Structure 1
Amino acid sequence: MSLSKIRALTFDTGGTILDWHSGFRDALATAGGRHGVERDWAMLANELRRRSLKAMLNQGRDGPPQHNIDDAHRFSLDAILKEEGLEVFDTADRQAIAYDAPHGFTCWPDFPPTLPKLRERHIVASFTILSYRLIIDTARANGLSWDAVLSCEGFGVYKLLPAAYARAAHFLQLDPSECLMVACHRFDLDAARDAGYRTALVRRPTEWGPEAEANDPKAVEGDYDIVVDDFPALNDALS
């Protein structure tokens, strides 16, 4: 199918754009070093991400959302530290891990130089479960210029609910078919496709760390409108 009618690229941001694994892992390791304790920090970083993500998806289905991602990072971290016997981590440690680290996540290196090229032809928006402030802070830290930030925090409903995708398109004043959802997560792309979006999978094989199995290794052309290994290839596919 032709991609000529696409007017906006809506980017999942946590994982697809931001390297959350390294940020959480390093913050946990720094706190551990302060207190002379050792753990598998990479494993705990991934557990923190899993719990936080689970706490966010589909909020708004059964009532107004009760927390944003910053809250989820903190209560997920507190639970993990208790389970791991790491109550020695103090308030400053917890702030550094659950708030400062994600608000300073770095981008995957192929995205910042590609973003201006994508913006030449399309509206480029962060469409995310992350908080407005987290996206603002990481954009400033990484020199990103989004045309728009569409946070589910302001929608009252979160991905993977169809209403979240409908509202993102509504605020862009576009039909969903004019929006290309760009993500490394099949669950996000599948929900966007069901809501009428076009879809692009950009693989991020080390999202869960360098030792993790590549995400969605079996995704092939035909599963989505575009399947590529990096952002320059996405730009080429849209040229």
Structure 2
Amino acid sequence: MTKPTQALCFDVFGTVTDWYGSILKEAQSLPQTRQLNIPWDAFILKWRRDGYLASLKKIVAGEMDLMATAEINKRKLLELLQEYDIQGLSPGEIDHFNLSWNRLEAWEDVVAGLHQLKEDFLIMPFSNGDYRCLLDISKRNNLPWDGIISADFFKKIKPDPTIYKEAIDLLQMAPENVMMVACHAHDLNAAKKAGMKTAYVNRPLEFGGHDAADAVKAAYDIEATDFVDLARQLKETKL
């Protein structure tokens, strides 16, 4: 008999937060760039894809040391400021812009959905974001987590196959007691291989409506349109 779900672990960047919309808003508010014709769309996608995501792949492959989220992002930001000839930002303004990733806004359904899910489950982020970044995002959005699991704890990152087992062990549960919730197939596929239950939440605007390279979707326990729909389905299915 399948063990009941007791805890839900959430991807944060894309699943919980609208990183593209949040960063675009911060970029467009920079006073030094308002008179410049900056293609922010391309800038932000490069910052995410060619900076953070590319660095994560190198870390998983052992080609790069694990480092804080802000440090990874700043390395790429400095390159992009040169590439797009953005001048006049002070070091403090650059640091503030870089930390816009710590100020990401949640999707509209998230807070209401999490409060519903919290009635029946332990809920927490399980993210490659560093602990401080997850704290800042959680506080900014008043997210009602029961705790936080950061890749910081394990000195490795998803989708390393061993990190899911270590997160499960941290919760002192069986894999079937824990459900991974994400909008990314690569994350869910790895969690499924580790024995976790899986819930896919569709976020078509994660990359601002642009296509995003991801793994091929597998069969997941639940496919939901948002967190409120996820809460409804979990109540109905009693997984």
With normalisation by structure 1, the TM-score equals: 0.88
Q: Which residue of 2 aligns with 1:139?
A: 138
Go from structure 1 to structure 2 and tell me whether the alpha carbon gap of 1:214 and 1:57 turns closer, same or farther (over 3 Å shift).
closer
Aligned-pair CA distance for 1:195 = 1.5
Secondary structure of the equivalent of 1:125? Answer: strand
In structure 2, what residue type is equivalent to 1:149? I
Do residues 30 (structure 1) and 29 (structure 2) align?
yes
- Corresponding residue for 1:62? 62
How many angstroms does 1:215 deviate by?
8.5
Does residue 123 of the first structure (1) align with residue 122 of the second (2)? Answer: yes
Aligned to 2:92: 92
1:113 is displaced (CA, Å) by 0.9
Q: Deviations over 1:161-195 (max 9, x none)?
A: 01111111111111222111100011111111111
Aligned-partner SS, 1:24: helix
How far apart are residue 64 of structure 1 and its match? Answer: 8.7
Deviations 1:44-72 (A, max 9, x none): 11211112122124736638943121111
The residue matched to 2:29 in structure 1 has which SS? helix
1 CA distance for matches of 2:146 and 2:54?
28
Unpaired segments of 5 or more residues in structure 1? none
Query: What amino acid does structure 2 have at the position aligned with 1:91?
Result: P
Letter in 2 for 1:165: Y
- For 2:31 and 2:83, how far apart are their aligned partners in 1? 15
2:4 counterpart residue number: 5
- Deviations along 1:133-177, whole A, 9 cap, x unmatched? 111111111111211111001211111101111111111111222
Kindly indicate which of the two structures has a greater share of residues assigned to helix. 2
8 Å CA contact 2:55–2:64 kept in 1: the answer is no
Matches of 1:37 and 1:91 in 2, distance apart?
20
Count of residues in correspondence between the two structures:
233
Indicate if the aligned counterparts of 2:32 and 2:88 stay in contact, CA closer than 8 A: no
- Residue 33 of structure 1 and its aligned partner are, at CA, apart by 4.5
Determine if contact 1:16/1:184 at 8 Å carries over to the other structure. Answer: yes
Q: 1:207 to 1:63 in 2, by over 3 A?
A: closer
Contact 1:184 1:204 in 2 (8 A): yes
1:233 paired with 2:233, answer no
* From 195, 200, 212, the counterpart of 2:210: 212
SS at match of 2:70: helix
* Contact 1:69 1:130 (C-alpha < 8 Å) held by counterparts: yes
Superposed CA RMSD: 2.4
- Specify whether residues 69 and 188 from structure 1 end up closer, same or farther in structure 2 by C-alpha distance, changes over 3 A only: same
Identity of aligned residues (%): 28
1:11, 1:181 within 8 Å by CA — same for their partners in 2? yes
Label 1:43 to 1:60 Cα distance change in 2 as closer, same or farther (>3 A): closer
1:224 aligns with 2:220: yes
- Matches of 2:162 and 2:65 in 1, distance apart? 14
SS in structure 1 opposite 2:112? coil
For residue 35 of structure 1, report the CA deviation from its aligned partner.
6.2
Deviates more, 1:29-38 or 1:223-232: 29-38
Q: How far 1:15 sits from its partner (Å)?
A: 0.8
Alpha-carbon distance in structure 2 between the residues aligned to 1:58 and 1:6: 33
Aligned twin of 1:45: 44
Instruction: State the alpha-carbon separation in 1 of the partners of residues 56 and 147 from structure 2.
Output: 21
* TM-score when normalising by structure 2: 0.88
Report the alpha carbon displacement of residue 107 of structure 1 after superposing the two structures with TM: 0.5
Q: What letter is aligned with 2:186?
A: F
Please give the per-residue CA displacement for 1:99-140, whole angstroms capped at 9, x wherever unaligned: 1x1221111010101112111111111000111111111111
